[in-house]
Structure 1
């Protein structure tokens, strides 16, 4: 099936290459109509997966868009699980409240199921939208603004053994990607880098700098090995007292405590700067334990990755569990009714099995709450305390909460 009637005169169909420009223009308009550089536009065009994208058309006019990147997502236990990265979703202002978005979400989840992918994930421009389609917020991130004139950094032994050097961002892509690849299995929520994605992270249009410098890169080395990197800009700010410039961190990865500390120490010590601004960082990043005054680090937490279990059984079997678990989940899923019903989940740190059952339920919850808890960053006990999970068997919430946890806080390493 390639074309579906939504309502009235609006049809859904798989995106054709010849329609991409109008489809993308419709998306840009839905997000405010800001122009992009030609380089940025061409990069997103090259990454678009046409057979995994749909458009809503009213006659010859595109009035809605939705796509799905082919991703692999790290889950607790380190497995890399196929996941549809829902993206480029927009509806024209002229066609709101006509069921266009619901039709695209319906079509998309049916497609994801047919592709055999147990998960769909997205970042929400408006968090209120996607809960009704079964997406739960599974990861959070931190934005920080560190006053480096008043906060000191205490680094661990071995930091002085790490050598730092400047590198041209585009020329250092391969070594940075190698570090990133080693980090991916270590933290739930991280996305394995798919072919064609590396240029996204060194794309440096002036329109995206907000007055800051061109992108800079520093690589951390120990001997002949690259053990970390940071990509950043410096945003100048001068007044009568001198420079109050900011270091704006784009992304950073490090393989061990010393290399992590060396990169942060470098950022703290940059001349003519008085603060570090970083967004979208892990909530449990090690530098939190190295600073002298966490109150002057301007921490702000926000939602990040939303997870939707498309196949409950396959998704719950794909991850491992911190403690032995044997629990019957009564799952409600009105939007994907094939998931509704009772599932017995048994598992531990070595693996898991999840099968349909007629046994009495231990916990009752919607697929949205199951998605929120899936990566181990949102507690089932916390959801239960808010009335979002119902305990049927006494003690089941505590048992399942421990099992569903993760050693490292889940983190979405890049947007899409």
Structure 2
């Protein structure tokens, strides 16, 4: 038996896709309530099996895409496993961006699981990412128990919340200096990149969009869901500073009738944010507002006369992070306070260059991270460091769970002061 882990050739791309669940209409997520889905069911219906024409279209697009890096496992010439990374920039604390390998569409076919093929593909992707100068890898974990053993750990979260229209009264505020407008898909396609770029510059965890990210926005109905609608906010100069995509899906049951689903909403300032929500939470002939894939710290809650009215109905981790190069990653973000920390990484089997004691010196917006012989303040696992990297996870909780071992009474407090940020990291779309 001959086993190879390598990028597929162009003539092997159809077989590569056939190893992936989405190409075969098979489940690709654990059967749990999905926090990014606005419908009442846990998960949207499965796709049908991809046609030969679709496979060819995907292959042509992916071969030309310099940011797409596929890898596959071949056993005696047959493709039995597949994965890929997509090169992104991700916003980190301080507002800078870091090159990141986004792991996507990963699977081993059912007849060849439990043989180490996933680990070998992950190792190959890590090594390729490091060669490209990408010190981070991130993914959405289809099952929570799989990816921790490769060094990943949750870094961002998302919530799905509901609000009854009759409970959605907003607190009084100053008049809106701008204006609102319902627009068509063509106008929305123009507005989204501008708004997203401004939001991404200040939101930790947000990603650079792939080319064509909003090209598929349409005014056409989507089955019984009805078409997407688009609401934009303009500032007093007439420039778009906020946008929302929403729909009014049809329902066969009285319990779910009259629901307005906000599928995406971004604003560059509080006035635009409040104005968009003021329309969406009081839309005629509706009774329930559902917003999936929202940040855990949604400011709208604090604009409501009754903050308790916003009910979180689903919550899940979103992107998991994995530090591939400790000193490169840590010197590309800023820290909440100046200071020093000496820490040891011991158990990184897949990126062994990380296994040593490091001195992190932070001075506001800049930092250095170098190997040292000094006594460590703490020992930390790579998954814990990866969760802390984006600033949204508690150092105290990770230490309490055994992922961090302090060697002094002040170590965890210093770690928390350096890494923690406000607001929590969030990313608005997956990959």
Aligned residues: 404
Cα RMSD, aligned residues only:
2.4
For 1:240 and 1:198, locate their aligned partners in 2 and report how far apart those are by CA, in whole Å. Answer: 33
Structure 2 residue 326 is the aligned partner of structure 1 residue 326 = no
Whether 1:363 aligns to 2:378 is yes
Equivalent position of 1:216 in the other structure: 229
* Aligned with 2:311 (options 266, 287, 298): 298
2:182 maps to 1:166 = yes
Residue 118 in 1 paired to residue 131 in 2? no
Matched, 1:276 2:289: yes
Q: Could you say which residue in structure 1 is the equivalent of 2:47? A: 34
Cα 1:224–1:13 change in 2 (3 A) is: same
> What's the secondary structure of 1:211's corresponding residue?
helix
Which piece of structure 1 moves more, 34-43 or 285-294?
34-43
Tell me which protein shows more strand as a share of its residues.
1
> Which of 157, 181, 185 is the aligned partner of 2:197?
181
The one of 127, 138, 141 aligned to 2:155: 138
Deviation at 1:265, TM superposition (A): 1.0
Do 2:10 and 2:59's aligned partners in 1 also have CA atoms closer than 8 Å?
no
What whole-Å deviation, never above 9, does each CA across 1:62-107 have from its counterpart, x for those lacking one?
2111111110000000001100111111111111111111110111
| Aligned equivalent of 1:248 | 261
Whole-angstrom distance in 2 between the partners of 1:395 and 1:102? 37
Structure 2: gaps spanning 5 or more residues: 29-45
State the alpha-carbon separation in 2 of the partners of residues 236 and 349 from structure 1.
Answer: 52
| In 1, Cα distance between equivalents of 2:173 and 2:297 | 17
Q: CA deviation at 1:238?
A: 6.6
Structure-2 separation of matches of 1:144 and 1:44: 38
Query: 1:25 matched to which residue of 2?
Result: 18
User: Who is 1:345 aligned against?
Assistant: 360
1:12 aligns with 2:5: yes
Maintained 8 Å contact 2:218/2:227: no
Q: Secondary structure at the match of 2:331?
A: helix
Asked if the contact 1:232/1:250 (under 8 Å) is kept, the reply is yes
What is the TM-score of this pair, normalised by structure 2? 0.87
- Determine if the alignment matches structure 1 residue 54 to structure 2 residue 89: no
Shift of 1:270: 1.4
- Alignment match, 1:4: none
1:13 to partner: Cα distance: 2.0
Question: What is the Cα deviation at residue 212 of structure 1?
Answer: 1.5
Instruction: Return 365-374 or 261-270, whichever deviates more.
Output: 261-270
* Bigger Cα displacement from structure 2, 171-180 vs 248-257: 171-180
TM, length-normalised to structure 1: 0.90
- Is the Cα contact below 8 Å between 1:52 and 1:68 reproduced in 2? yes
Residue matched to 2:403: 388
Query: Structure 2: how far apart are the matches of 1:47 and 1:58?
Result: 23
How far off its partner does 1:386 sit? Answer: 1.9
State the alpha-carbon separation in 2 of the partners of residues 392 and 109 from structure 1.
31
The structure-2 alpha-carbon separation of the partners of 1:205 and 1:395, relative to structure 1 and needing over 3 Å to count, comes to: farther
**Structure 1 residue 317 corresponds to structure 2 residue 331:** yes
Seen in structure 2, the aligned counterparts of structure 1 residues 328 and 204 have a Cα distance that, compared at 3 Å, is farther
- State the shift of 1:210 in Å: 7.2
Distance 1:403 1:44 in 2: 44
- Secondary structure in 2 matching 1:273: coil
2:420 to 387, 390, 405: 405
Q: CA deviation at 1:158?
A: 3.5
2-side partners of 1:210 and 1:124: how far apart? 28
Residue 384 and residue 405 in structure 1: after superposition, are their counterparts in 2 closer, same or farther (change >3 A)?
same
Between the aligned partners of 2:127 and 2:94, the Cα distance in structure 1 is 28
Answer with 20-29 or 66-75: which moved more. Answer: 20-29
Seen in structure 2, the aligned counterparts of structure 1 residues 236 and 271 have a Cα distance that, compared at 3 Å, is farther
How far the C-alpha of 1:285 sits from its partner, in A, is 2.0
Distance 1:179-1:12 versus aligned 2 partners, 3 A rule: same
> CA distance change for structure 1 residues 240 and 82 in 2, over 3 Å: closer, same or farther?
closer
The answer to whether residue 283 in structure 2 is matched with residue 267 in structure 1 is no
